[in-house]
Copies of this chain bind each other. A is one copy, B any other.
Amino acid sequence: MKDRRPYRRESEERRRDDLIAAALELVAEGGAKAATVRAISEKAGVTAGLIRHYFANKEELTRAAYTRLMDQMTSQSLAVLQDAPSDPVIRLALFIAASVSPPVSDPVAVALWAAFVQELRRDPEMHAVHRVTYLGFRDLLQSLIEALPAPPADPRRSAIACNGLIDGLWMEGALLPEAFEKDELIDIALDCSGAILHIDLATAYRTEREKT
């Protein structure tokens, strides 16, 4: 007489992944308030109770989603170096260009990021995630800068500056795309990073792009 919904047992990893992915999609679509336990579980194809079987509470799921988002963005910027030439100037130029253009610089990604930023001040664990991912990205940038033929005297300062420039343009390009022409932000990011580092990143990028 019961018409209980049939289901399949899945691995813990699979279920956690599905729930995190569903949460991110919902936050992207409708802001943090749209990611309710019921909406998340429905999108993941399970019932609400299961969330608390894999996460102690909703906060923990939120943290997991934030970590996943930041890891994704860093690895997307890094992916462009996978099959890049070994010339450090070209590598830096490609990395910077990738960071201020899609899919890294994307309205959905920025909105997602903003949704989590509000939690940083209140949740020490979220703050820790932020520190690790921010410093991780910056250190990556710094290592690219230190590999340059004529590295700057204070690579840490240079990395902070370029990181600030990248983050600002990343955000502005995603939030107000109609205010910029195609590739304008890439050009600006390369020109100004070049001015900061006293090298010509723009032509290095252009010649590399024309090679294909």
Instruction: Decide yes or no: A119 and B157 within 8 Å by CB, A165-B164, A172-B134, A175-B130 being known contacts.
Output: no
Q: Does A150 contact B (CB under 8 A)?
A: no
Q: By the criterion CB–CB under 8 Å, are B121 and A111 in contact?
A: yes
Shortest beta-carbon distance from A165 to chain B in Å: 5
Instruction: Decide yes or no: A164 and B168 within 8 Å by CB, A32-B33, A131-B179 being known contacts.
Output: yes
User: Which residues of chain B are near A176, meaning CB under 8 Å?
Assistant: 130-131, 134
Q: Which of A17-25, A188-196, A204-212 contacts its partner?
A: A188-196
Question: DSSP class of A's interface residues: helix, strand, loop or mixed?
Answer: helix
Q: Does A81 contact B (CB under 8 A)?
A: no
A168 to B185, CA, bound (A): 14
Q: Digit string of A117-146 for contact with B (CB within 8 Å is 1, else 0)?
A: 111111000000011001100000000000
- A window 4-52: CB within 8 A of B: 27, 30-33
- A window 159-193: CB within 8 A of B: 160-161, 163-169, 171-172, 175-176, 179-180, 184-185, 188-189, 191-192
